[in-house]
Chains A and B, each alone.
Chain A
């Protein structure tokens, strides 16, 4: 198996990866659901502890999305290179916990709200900083974990 086959493009489910086509449905769905609850509650806790005004910078969601992206980078190296025989690990931690923890809808609606309040600069800086931060974080998570496991 080449690296291209083993590492999915879509970390949730990628039908180009043979092993992901025939995942046992009920245990996988249960693991995703349980992980989703844990991730969403962590996000809810952080967002409640760290609120922001409608025209302000949504720091809690920014931190949630950037840390979640770092962790998906870490996790995907671990499940494709280290712990390859735990079929529920990626569904639980990746699809469930990190998918439930990070959010695209809140990111979008917070941009919309800030722009609607006339706060164009916070809206645009939040839009761009999250994108750049998230992509750098997933890259850093991947590279650092790969360096650590190959040592």
Chain B
């Protein structure tokens, strides 16, 4: 039961933080490329990569991993943006979005893992 509450609490913060980060990034960086979603997805992958590599308790995993990182990052917005870029004729940006998100996400998770090994 407490685990469910921790997931809910993490998500209650993670989801609006994605929206606010996305807004802030777009306000500072006007571009066809969806930098806002890219930013939250890469940051969330870094944090989850770090957490997963640490011997964390189930409570911390529920709050920060499943709740916060899960709600901070999004696959639905990432896919929708990629489809919209294709429909707008920006096929190059769509392809770059897919490749850059996956490569940067994996790189960020690897950095998270290395950081965890350094502090553990």
Q: Which residues of A contact B (CB under 8 A)?
A: 4, 7-15, 28-29, 32-37, 39-41, 43-44, 47, 65, 68-69, 71-73, 76, 91, 94-96, 98-109, 111-113, 127, 130-131, 134-135, 137-139, 142
Contacts of B48 in A (CB 8 A): 105-106, 108-109
- Contact sample, A vs B, 5 pairs, CB 8 Å cutoff: A33-B11, A47-B66, A104-B105, A105-B109, A134-B79
Nearest neighbor of B90 in chain A, beta-carbon distance: A9
Q: Are A32 and B16 in contact (CB under 8 A)?
A: yes
A58 nearest CB across to chain B (Å): 13
Q: Closest 9 CB pairs between A and B? A: A36-B15, A40-B11, A104-B73, A102-B75, A105-B44, A72-B76, A108-B105, A105-B48, A104-B41
Q: Are B36 and A105 in contact (CB under 8 A)?
A: no
Q: Are B36 and A113 in contact (CB under 8 A)?
A: no
User: Known interface pairs A40-B7, A102-B74, A105-B45. Does A9 touch B34 (Cβ–Cβ under 8 Å)?
Assistant: yes
User: Known interface pairs A41-B7, A47-B66, A95-B15. Does A105 touch B72 (Cβ–Cβ under 8 Å)?
Assistant: yes
Expressed in whole angstroms, the Cα–Cα distance for A137 and B80 within the complex equals 10
Contacts of A40 in B (CB 8 A): 7-8, 10-11, 14-15, 66-67, 70-71
Contacts of B66 in A (CB 8 A): 40, 43-44, 47
Query: For the complex, would chain A's binding face be called helix, strand, loop or mixed by DSSP majority?
Result: helix
Q: Are B15 and A9 in contact (CB under 8 A)?
A: no
Q: Are B15 and A104 in contact (CB under 8 A)?
A: no
Nearest neighbor of B33 in chain A, beta-carbon distance: A9
Q: Among A15, A28, A94, A104, which residue has its beta carbon within 8 angstroms of that of B78?
A: A104
As a 0/1 sequence over residues 77 to 117 of chain B, the CB contacts with chain A under 8 angstroms (1 = contact) are: 11111111100100000000010011001101110010000
Expressed in whole angstroms, the Cα–Cα distance for A49 and B26 within the complex equals 38
Nearest neighbor of A40 in chain B, beta-carbon distance: B11
Contacts of A142 in B (CB 8 A): 83
Contacts of A139 in B (CB 8 A): 83
Residues 1-56 of B at the A interface (beta carbon under 8 Å): 4, 7-8, 10-16, 18-20, 22-23, 26-27, 30, 32, 34, 36-37, 41, 44-45, 47-49, 52
